[in-house]
Amino acid sequence: MTPLARGWALGTATWFAVTALGACKPKAESDKSGPPSGSVALAVHPPESAHAEPSAGPEQKKGMTWVPKGTLIAGTPPDVSPRLADEELPGTSIEMSGFYIDTYPFPNEPGAIPTTNVTRDEAAKQCEGRGKRLCSELEWERACKGNANTTYEYGAQYRAATCGTGMSIEKSASRTNGEYPACKSSFGAMDLHGGVWEWTKSTWEGRKSGEQGSGVLRGGNATSGELVGRCANSLARPVSSKEGTIGFRCCSGPDNAAEVKLSLESKVAFERLPTVRATTAGLSKIPRVLWGSTEPIQTEFFRAWHWRPVADEELVITSGCEKKMIGQERRCGVVVARIAGAESQKLDAGATSPDDVTVVADFATGPRIPDLI
């Protein structure tokens, strides 16, 4: 599957599901491409604030930034969208020990053009020659997110100008280190995004797209910068790849052994749920502005489907109407929601509460109750 198709699988699937209901307005697409010839990741995230002063390490190391021990919230939580559920951890808390990371991509000098056209082994040898090592992908992510675990190295909200993201990697890979001085994490690591993709020592395993056993890249750039510019974003490449868009940076200190390991199960992608009332109980109790209403309405739902657009992503599609009011034509529509613990056996077993429900999208269908059949 191409990067563009991969990146927008969730949005496209939503479009077709709701088109079948006769109630869809598709959104504009956006390129998710990474280095020429591969897959890319996507997604966006929550309540964080930007910069604290970089922490001083146990000793100063020239050209390196100290990343203290702390908790990494790895990947993207299930209630945050969009995300690549089958390529990243679901907001998993991981305790990390302290380590050093190069402030800039290799050769780790301000004003230098990053070194590219190296395989992963060649990059590792360059680091070893300086008494260092390649970073793991989660060390890289920790250095990017900082103690506040921000979506982007500079904070919670995407800003293209901060790191010069949102352009093709071919145009940005030759930019010099430090060209964007505000592009730094709260720990002080610079140019984590906007320039070259960076080799890590980690291996791509258990994730859906990309060749299994490939090396993991972090950083980089693409025209969809709000997605590729996330600290959680990653990319698979054969470890023998040598491209002008792939560089690296080094770390030092004891290894952090944690790696991205996903347990992806094959499940039925789309199925009708028999227990509509229990499934939608939490949704029905939430007054919301839905389906073109001008004020919150009380709703009742008549049909529900369990939808798994990708592995490790659980959504519920429901159709229904506002509770009928005398003398008024009722509004009906579709709601796509994420329900906490949305596994078939749980949905069939009992009622959901309002606290379980996150509405992802809603679509109006006029006065009729839509169905997928």
Domains of the chain as residue ranges with CATH:
1-29+265-373 (no CATH), 31-252 (3.90.1580.10)
pLDDT of 27 reads: 32
The CA-atom distances, in angstroms, between 157 and each of 28, 150, 154 are 21, 9, 8
Structure tokens that stand for 209 in this block: 């797209």
Q: What are phi and psi of 57, to 5 degrees?
A: -85, -175
Q: Which of 54-63, 188-197, 284-293, 345-354 has the lowest mean pLDDT?
A: 345-354
Q: Does position 193 have pLDDT exceeding 80, yes or no? A: yes
36 neighbors 170 (Cβ within 8 angstroms): yes
Report pLDDT digits (tens) over 197-224: 999 999 998 787 668 889 999 999 999 9
Pairing of strands 246-248, 197-204: parallel
Tell me how far apart the alpha carbons of residues 185 and 106 are, in angstroms, rounded to a whole number. 17
Query: Which pLDDT belongs to residue 146?
Result: 98
Least confident of 30-39, 187-196, 258-267: 30-39
pLDDT tens-place string over residues 4-43: 334 334 343 443 343 333 333 333 333 444 444 333 333 3
Cα separations in angstroms, 261 against 96, 137, 210, 311: 16, 12, 15, 14
pLDDT, tens digit (0-9, with 9 covering 90-100), for 160-180? 999 999 999 999 999 999 999
Q: What's the pLDDT at 275?
A: 62
pLDDT of residue 123: 99
Tell me the two tokens of residue 322.
């506002």
pLDDT score for 4: 34
Q: What is the pLDDT of residue 334?
A: 85
Query: Tokens for 194?
Result: 């906007």
pLDDT at 272: 72
Cβ-proximal residues to 369 (8 Å cutoff; 6+ apart), any chain: 302, 303, 319, 320, 321, 332
Rounded mean pLDDT of 74-89?
81
Q: Indicate the helix (H) or strand (E) that contains 345.
A: helix 344-349
Q: What is the mean pLDDT of the chain?
A: 78
Q: Which residue has the higher pLDDT, 16 or 131?
A: 131
- In the chain, pLDDT over 70 holds for what percent of residues? 66
Q: Indicate whether 1 pLDDT > 50.
A: no
281 band by pLDDT with thresholds 50, 70 and 90? low
Which pLDDT score, from 0 to 100, does residue 267 have? 65
Distances (CA, A) of 139 to 3, 73, 200, 221, 253: 25, 12, 9, 19, 11
Q: Which residue has the higher pLDDT, 279 or 337?
A: 337
The pTM assigned to this predicted structure is: 0.71
Residue 22: left (phi > 0), alpha (psi -120 to 50), or beta?
Answer: left
